[in-house]
Every structure is written in structure tokens, then in C-alpha cells.
Copies of this chain bind each other. A is one copy, B any other.
């Protein structure tokens, strides 16, 4: 299904005509935003690579079955966040957590990570050493380690300080089956806490916020939380996604597409701190589309939802977890939000790059 979609898109995009002509010739910032433009770039330029998980982005990591029957999750992320340090973390912590969380969303525990550094000449060694210390600490927190690495240095002006790639390999426990294509009508939508703090912490660090606020990135490794969720929910847990670029809106739209589902959330039930809500309102951003780095959404069968919620709330990284919606049906592909006043609105896949270099 995934493959067909990519191929169809690729054919459509590469066929001559108005649509092709209207595509920009150059890559734009918005193509990196995790939204529609990015999907379009992937279909147009990367579709030839085939149904690569992650390239087509149906799930957070690829699943690899070995001759022994063991299943591995394998994922990669590059981190280009600006600035390199921000309240609640830095690019090093972000890199470890982002990759661990992609594995965790597949129900995998990390076996180890790789670390690829692209350093701009002139980066202070002190700053680099601090970021490496963050990497080590985040690895310890997640119970994993850096197994292999690569270091490149490019001349001044050819990169912006430091870019990090972390890839990860994880072991999926026997019997665990998760995927955005597994949603069923009635499944509950659960998030593990308040949204939008990471994106706002980055904006505050860039002094791009229209108001004062004490925003800290939520950046944290979620693999211990997902282990608790899977223990509590068993096979009632259909899908997990970590909520990075494009936020809850992007994750639910992906799941809706994969399962051809109508997912409805109750806007008032989605945890967002008042200061974050106020900042998003002023910026004209939807908290549902804002990036997080320590949040996930779980789709859980109704009879296991309370157990999963309780397990989350018993965990340090899920104290403010909440059931925020449900899968209404499998006969249409859309995400809606019931608002405070009663009517519903469409929660669309974010279009382009709301906030460049947020991770």
C-alpha cells in the first residue's frame, strides 16, 4: 500500500503538465518541515528508492527480520537544531532522545546508536565537549551507548556549527506488533503529557517569542515509558508515534492515512500548558502541530486504554498523560478536532516549515 502510494505520487509528479511545471525547481526550507511539502519532495525525488520505511515515513523506524527470527528496528535522524543549546537540552541530548524514541515507537529497546558529526571549522572544543557529555548522559538515561561513529570537519561557512546524525538499532520484543496501519474503530488516542514545549523552548532561545515564558524542551528518552505502556496494554496497543516535527497533527494524519481512519480528538482534552497555549495563540501556531521531543501518542484498544493511561501516569514521563480522542471509523481518512463550542474542525497535515531547524 505504501509502495503504491509512493509510486503513484512519483508518476504523477514526474509526468509532464501543469502540476509538474508548478513545482519549484529548488529545494525550499519548507521541504524539511515534516508536512505536505516534505511528502511531496520525498515522492518526487526519493520515491525511486522504493517503499523504504522512514523515507515514506509510515512508521518511525524500519523493521528488519533476521534469519533467526529476531526482529530489529533501525532508524536514522539528522539534527540541525539552532541554537545548539537551549533550555532543557542541547543538540546532543536531542540526537540521542530522537533516535531512541523512534526505536521506542516501534516497541524496541535500543541495542546501540551510531554518531555522525559534521563540525564547522572554528567550533569551540569546549562547546563540543559539552555536547558530547550530553550525549553520554542521555545514553545512560536511555540505557544505551554509542557503538560506532564518524567525524567530519568542513570549512568555516560550509556548515552551521554542528550537525549530528544518530542512527539506532533496537530489538523488538517477541509478539510486539505495532504500526500506524493497525488502528481499529474505537481505539483511544492517548498522549503522555503537554504538547509544544520543545518548539517554544527553541523559539525562546532564538528570542523569537512575542512574550516572556519559562519554556523548557521536553526532550527525554521514552523507551522506558513505552516498555511500561506495552506491559500494561499488551496487544491492545496498536501504534505508537513520537511527536516531533509536525507534532500530534502530523502523527495522527499519518496513522489516519495508513489505516484509512477517521481520528477525532477533543481539543479541550489535549494537554497544553496555559503559557504554551498563550504563546501559540500569539504566534498563530496550532499547538497540535508544534514539535515535541519527549512526547508520544498511543493508539490503544478501548478495553486496555485505562490500563495504559494508568501506566503512563505512574511514570515520571507520563504524569500528565490524557486520553485525547478516538478512532471514529475506518471508512474515511481524516483527522478532526471537536472544539470547545461543539463543532469540529479538520486537523490538517501541516503544510511546510512552520519552524525551521527545530530539531
Contact = CB atoms under 8 A, between A and B. Distances in A.
Contact of A165 (B23, B74, B78, B125): B78
A160 B50 CA distance: 27
Contact of A77 (B49, B116, B146): B116
Contacts of A125: 23-27, 41, 44-45
A159 B163 CA distance: 9
Interface stretch (A107-115, A182-190, A203-211, A301-309): A107-115
A238 interface: no
Contact of A159 (B24, B153, B160): B160
Interface in A51-71: 52-55, 61-62, 64, 66-70
Contact of A74 (B118, B123, B132, B148): B148
A335 to B, nearest CB: 23
Contacts of A45: 125, 128-129, 132
A52 B52 CA distance: 28
A192 interface: no
A144 B127 CA distance: 38
* Chain A facing B: main interface SS: mixed
A151 interface: yes
B49 A155 contact: no
A147 B74 contact: yes
What interface size band does chain A fall in? 35 or more
Given A38-B151, A52-B149, A114 B76 contact: yes
A136 interface: yes
Interface stretch (A28-36, A218-226, A260-268): A28-36
- Tell me the number of copies of this protein: 2
Given A68-B68, A133-B48, A146-B52, A29 B76 contact: no
Contacts of A155: 29, 356-357
Contacts of A118: 78, 80, 118, 163
A145 interface: yes
Contacts of A147: 52-54, 62, 64, 74
Interface in A138-188: 139, 145-155, 157-160, 163, 165, 167, 169, 171
Nearest to A158: B160
Contacts of A33: 153
Most B CB contacts (10 A, CB to CB) among A115, A128, A133, A147 go to A147
A213 interface: no
A193 to B, nearest CB: 24
A80 B122 CA distance: 17
A118 B117 CA distance: 12
A265 B157 CA distance: 40
Interface of A: 23-33, 38, 41-42, 44-46, 48-50, 52-55, 61-62, 64, 66-70, 72, 74-80, 82, 111-112, 114-126, 128-129, 132-133, 135-136, 139, 145-155, 157-160, 163, 165, 167, 169, 171, 353, 356-357
8 contacts: A26-B122, A28-B153, A45-B125, A49-B149, A52-B149, A64-B147, A64-B169, A80-B118
